[in-house]
Amino acid sequence: MLRAILPMLAASLSLVAGAAQAGQSFDTVKARGQVICGVNTGVAGFSAPDARGVFQGLDAEFCRAIAAAVFGDSSKVRFVPTTYQTRFVALQSGEIDVLARNVTQTLMRDTALGFNMAGVNFYDGQGFMVPKRANITAAKQLDGATVCVLPGSTTELNLADFARREGIRIQPVVLSSMDEMTAAYQSGRCDAMTTDASQLAALRVSALREPEAHVVLPERVSKEPLGPMVRHGDDQWLDVVAWVLRAMIEAEEVGITRANVDEMRRSQDPNIQRILGVTPGFGKALGLDEAWAFNLLKQVGNYGEVFDRTLGQGSPIGLERGLNDLWTRGGLMYALPLR
């Protein structure tokens, strides 16, 4: 784990202390009138600019949900594309307010880098993609293979752990960006490429010339709990970001959608009344308007709606919910009670 963070530590340990002392992210955001959200430079389904240059995806929509909760307007967000090399420094330095960039939550990122984890918005695992013509059906068959991987990431460490655990030889080909990695794989420089399985599925559809000629292998060689991060030092801002995610999950569980949220305000269900601000006090506890959750649900939608249109069956990627389904349907999505 240390190897994955040493480059960032060298450049930014002083920034961690400064950011932690500064705090007051919530007040800064409110005064600015805009949430600054660090996202990926381009991973379809999570955060990628569309034909008009507008960021779309699960993480981009989460950023809009924060803006809707804080300002009552989901458009009050500015997206800052970050790379593997710049993502952590951007958060530590205060360049961004929240990092929502399919980043794996780990102990060292919590402690040494000085971040707070605001919950998991996507449960993932590292996988491998290979050309179908290679006739590889299991990751163990990659003995002797060259594998494209990104530097300074948990992915690089997991690849080494996997090879050691299985007693096979893998030659990593380390590329500096997702675009470079995809190009190297397509050119045949690598026998396989590895990253989070969701990203592989997205790249297969959005970046490869012949998607049907490639396959994502079934194994997952790691746990990759992805989710938003904020700096240490401002618990109120952490509360806001965390409860936005929880409200989106809880709303799906109780059946609140963008289409019915106005009608649901008339519900006699005490839980729905609390979520939608009919019962006062919960917005005030966060320093927000009582309609904070109503606004984000009306403008962005619940977790399931966002998943479907960005990554799921309503999107070109077509991912199954799997672990990201609600706990009541066999998944892991389980929100703390809004009460």
Q: Are residues 181 and 273 in the same domain?
A: no
Q: Are residues 114 and 133 in the same domain?
A: no
DSSP string, 283-332: HHHHTS-TTHHHHHHHHT--HHHHHHHHTSTTSSS----GGGSBGGGTSS
Domain holding 68, by residue range, is 2-123+226-233
Tokens of 181: 């990695």
User: What is the total count of domains within the chain?
Assistant: 3
Q: Are residues 131 and 206 in the same domain?
A: yes
Query: Of the residues 176, 208, 233, which one is the last residue of a structural domain?
Result: 233
Q: Which residue has the tokens 């990203």?
A: 199
Query: Of the residues 212, 233, 254, which one is the last residue of a structural domain?
Result: 233
Q: Are residues 96 and 22 in the same domain?
A: yes
Whole-number pLDDT of residue 266: 96
CATH of the domain at 97: 3.40.190.10
| Residue 160 lies inside a defined structural domain of this protein | yes
| Residue 135 lies inside a defined structural domain of this protein | yes
Closest CA to 124 of 338, 331, 339, 334: 331
| Residue 277 lies inside a defined structural domain of this protein | yes
Whole-number pLDDT of residue 232: 93
Q: Are residues 22 and 100 in the same domain?
A: yes
pTM of the model: 0.86
Whole-number pLDDT of residue 234: 87
| Residue 152 lies inside a defined structural domain of this protein | yes
User: DSSP secondary-structure letter at 265?
Assistant: T
Q: Are residues 94 and 135 in the same domain?
A: no
Residue 192 neighbours by CB distance under 10 Å:
25
Q: Are residues 104 and 192 in the same domain?
A: no
Q: Are residues 202 and 159 in the same domain?
A: yes
Q: Are residues 261 and 314 in the same domain?
A: yes
Decide: helix, strand or coil at residue 123.
Answer: strand
CA distance 16 to 113: 7
61 burial (CB, 10 Å; 0-12 / 13-18 / 19+) is buried
| Residue 302 lies inside a defined structural domain of this protein | yes
| Residue 332 lies inside a defined structural domain of this protein | no
Q: Are residues 103 and 175 in the same domain?
A: no
| Residue 79 lies inside a defined structural domain of this protein | yes
| Residue 94 lies inside a defined structural domain of this protein | yes
Local mean pLDDT, 10-residue blocks, the chain (339 residues):
42 40 78 97 91 96 98 98 90 96 90 94 96 95 96 87 95 91 95 94 90 93 94 94 98 98 97 97 96 98 98 92 96 94
Whole-number pLDDT of residue 11: 42
Decide: helix, strand or coil at residue 63.
Answer: helix
Query: Of the residues 233, 267, 302, which one is the last residue of a structural domain?
Result: 233
Whole-number pLDDT of residue 60: 98
Whole-number pLDDT of residue 83: 87
Q: Are residues 119 and 27 in the same domain?
A: yes
Whole-number pLDDT of residue 313: 93
Whole-number pLDDT of residue 221: 92
Q: Are residues 156 and 251 in the same domain?
A: no
Whole-number pLDDT of residue 291: 98
